[in-house]
Amino acid sequence: MEGLLDLSWMAWTKPTAIFFIAIATLLSLMTVWEYFSPGGAPRVGLLRFETTRGDRLFVSLLGSAFICLGWLAFSSASLWIGLGFCVIYALVVFLWV
């Protein structure tokens, strides 16, 4: 039983914790939003196929992961700048996709 609870191998730094808390918060907020306004008014955006709020959240999280990975691979600047690009990307996805 003790081996199951040993999470010392994980790199639980403050940024890592903030990252997972932010994703959990986003999912929780989207759940509440869906409860009070079901359906999410699907729409056809820039990609020319129908997306819902959940689809747009998924696309923005997936794209943000790739932006951060690319930022780490090709830039020596602070990852906070990459995070800024992720926020801009998420706004663009929610507005036009």
With beta carbons less than 8 A apart as the criterion, state whether 78 and 69 touch: no
pLDDT for residue 58? 92
pLDDT per position as a tens digit, 33-44: 889 988 777 889
Q: What is the pTM of this model?
A: 0.76
Confidence of residue 3 (pLDDT cuts 50, 70, 90): low
DSSP state of 78: -
Q: Which residue has the higher pLDDT, 3 or 76?
A: 76
| Residue 49 pLDDT > 90 | no
Question: Would you say residue 24 has pLDDT above 90?
Answer: yes
3-class SS of residue 43: strand
- The pLDDT score that the predictor gives to residue 9 is 72
**Domain ranges across the chain:** 9-96
Q: Is the pLDDT of residue 4 over 70?
A: no
Helical axes 53-74 vs 14-36, angle rounded to 10°: 160
CA separation for the pair 75, 81 (Å, rounded):
10
Distance CA 32, CA 71 (A): 32
84 near 67, Cβ under 8 Å? no
What is the distance between the alpha carbons of residues 29 and 47, in angstroms, rounded to a whole number?
25
**Confidence at residue 59, expressed as pLDDT on a 0 to 100 scale:** 93
